[in-house]
């Protein structure tokens, strides 16, 4: 039987051989054995050749006589939420939109990420009580990972 652990092991084997900074974002296997494997890369982008190479290693080491399957290997898209710590670390310095589990949103620059939390630098404008002029206030917010519903990269074409 095809398991996530087996697919992860086969994919990681090729990722280690390639040594290009790739990492696994997600693996899902449907009830009809459609396997979806998403990859990302610490620096740069995931090339088609990377996906093909990982796909071949997984496919060639699974027995279609034992279990028929469909395999899709792709890069994690920019439009999808960040899901694993290496993605957060890769995107430090980029603008992100965080939706918290309580429904509130935060937008700012991702400053740091750990297994426990992320730090986002936010900017807002307020009137100064003393001068009555608008002032810009920057604040680093620490958000616990378990309070975050999703975090997406803000794509800007400016």
Is 3.30.300.20 the CATH classification of the domain at 4-75?
yes
Give the architecture-level CATH label for domain 85-153.
Roll (2.30)
The total number of residues shown for the chain amounts to 158
Query: What does the pLDDT look like over 93-132, one tens digit per residue?
Result: 999 999 999 999 999 999 999 999 999 999 988 888 887 7
Of the chain, the end-to-end C-alpha distance in Å amounts to 49
Say what the pTM is: 0.86
List the domain boundaries for the chain. 4-75, 85-153
**What order do you get walking across the sheet with 34-41 strand by strand?**
22-29, 34-41, 70-75
């Amino acid at each position: 039987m095809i398991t996530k652990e087996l697919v992860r092991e086969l994919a990681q084997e090729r990722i280690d051989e390639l040594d290009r900074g790739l990492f696994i974002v997600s693996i899902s296997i449907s009830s009809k054995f459609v396997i979806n494997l998403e990859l990302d890369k610490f620096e740069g982008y995931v090339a088609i050749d990377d996906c093909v190479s990982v796909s071949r290693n997984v496919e060639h080491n699974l027995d279609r006589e034992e279990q028929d399957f469909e395999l899709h290997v792709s890069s994690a898209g920019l439009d999808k939420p960040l899901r694993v710590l290496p993605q957060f670390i890769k995107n430090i310095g980029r603008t992100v939109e965080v939706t918290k589990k309580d429904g509130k949103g935060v937008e700012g620059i991702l400053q740091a990420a750990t297994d426990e939390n992320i730090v986002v630098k936010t900017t807002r404008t307020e009137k100064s009580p003393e001068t009555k002029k608008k002032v810009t206030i920057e604040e680093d917010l620490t958000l616990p990972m378990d309070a975050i519903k999703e975090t997406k990269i803000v794509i800007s074409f400016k």
